[in-house]
Each structure stands twice: as C-alpha cells, then as structure tokens.
Amino acid sequence: MRNLSRITLDPQVMGGKPCLRGLRVTVGTIVGLIAEGYREDEILDLYPYLEAEDIREALAYAAWRAEEVELSLSEA
C-alpha cells in the first residue's frame, strides 16, 4: 500500500473519521458522491478547496479498507 499522505485521522476533526488533508470532508463523503454518479469535476465544484488527487486518494483508501481483514482477538 503506497503512502496516502492526503488521508488524515484526527479525533478532533469529524470524530476521527478518515478525512482529506485535515479538512472536514470525509473519505465516505467522496465515495458516496461517486456512488451517486457525481463526476470528479462536479465534486471539485462542490468542494473547491479539494484537488483531483484528493479524490483519487479517497478512492484508494476506501479500496484498501474494503480489502482489509479484521480478526477478533480470540482468533489472533
């Protein structure tokens, strides 16, 4: 997994959800917009302080999390 430098996790921002560059825009928000059919340019119009690379990293992070395997402590 490459370093995702634009994804931040801070308990003081959006309750610690993964966000983009410490902004109050979560990875889930971006992924949800894409799932609803929004294009990259439309998302950038909605959030003009974001950059195209933010969207790509949000998708990469979501894909990585979807493939992550969680084990309970009893299985570890």
For the chain, which residues make up each domain, given as ranges?
A: 7-67
Q: Which residue in the block uniquely carries the two structure tokens 């395997």?
A: 69
Specify whether domain 7-67 bears CATH 3.40.50.880: no
Kindly report the number of other CB atoms within 10 A of residue 61's CB atom: 19
Res 2: pLDDT: 66
Rounded distance, CA 28 to CA 21, Å? 14
| Of 58, 61, 65, residue with least CA distance to 20 | 58
Identity (one letter) of the amino acid at 25?
Answer: V
**pTM metric for this prediction:** 0.85
| Of 3, 50, 23, residue with least CA distance to 42 | 50
Q: What is the pLDDT of residues 13-51, one digit of tens each?
A: 999 999 999 999 999 999 999 999 999 999 999 999 999
